[in-house]
Amino acid sequence: MTSSEAGRHLARFQQERARLNDLVLKYAGRGIKRLYSIDAQVYEGGALPAKTKELLGLVASTVLRCGDCIKYHLINCREQGVTTQELDEALAIAMVVGGSITIPHIRRAFAAWDELSENH
């Protein structure tokens, strides 16, 4: 995949995620909307900086093997200024906690990180 194809891949992911979120919010009741609100608020800076919270989200998403969540947190990690070294250490924790079954997800996480790095 070329760097321009990779950039388009992540852009499509973000567009599709936004489209689907709009649909959810169009039809969702109070319970789902409250959960969406909590999800947004929990990643804001507080006692832990937003950067640390995104890394925690990335580790949890990797252990749970949620590909969309991993991409989402990688994008936010990039926006929060996470370094490649920090990413490597966080994904190492995810692999130790989640076991070898997380390896394919870690491969794709580094591929997405590479795409994000090429687009910055």
Low-confidence winner among 2-6, 9-13, 77-81, 86-90 (lowest mean pLDDT)? 2-6
pLDDT band at 34 (very low <50, low <70, confident <90, very high): very high
Specify the range with the lowest mean pLDDT, choosing from 10-14, 27-31, 78-82, 94-98: 10-14
Return phi, psi of residue 44, to 5°. -75, 155
CATH number at residue 14: 1.20.1290.10
pLDDT in tens, 65-87: 999 999 999 999 999 999 999 99
Instruction: Read off the pTM.
Output: 0.88
Say how many C-beta atoms besides its own lie within 10 A of residue 99's C-beta: 10
Structural domain containing residue 23: 3-118
Number of domains in the chain: 1
In which band, very low, low, confident or very high, does the pLDDT at 1 lie, cut at 50, 70 and 90? Answer: low
Residue 68 CA to its chain's centroid (Å): 7
Give the per-residue pLDDT at 23.
97
Q: For residue 100, which phi and psi values (nearest 5 degrees)?
A: -65, -15
Q: Provide, for the chain, the percentages of residues in helix, strand and coil under a 3-state DSSP scheme, each rounded to the nearest 5.
A: 85, 0, 15
- Match 């990413």 to its residue by tokens: 87
**Cα dihedral: 16, 22, 27, 29 (round 10):** 120
| Averaged pLDDT for residues 32-42 | 95
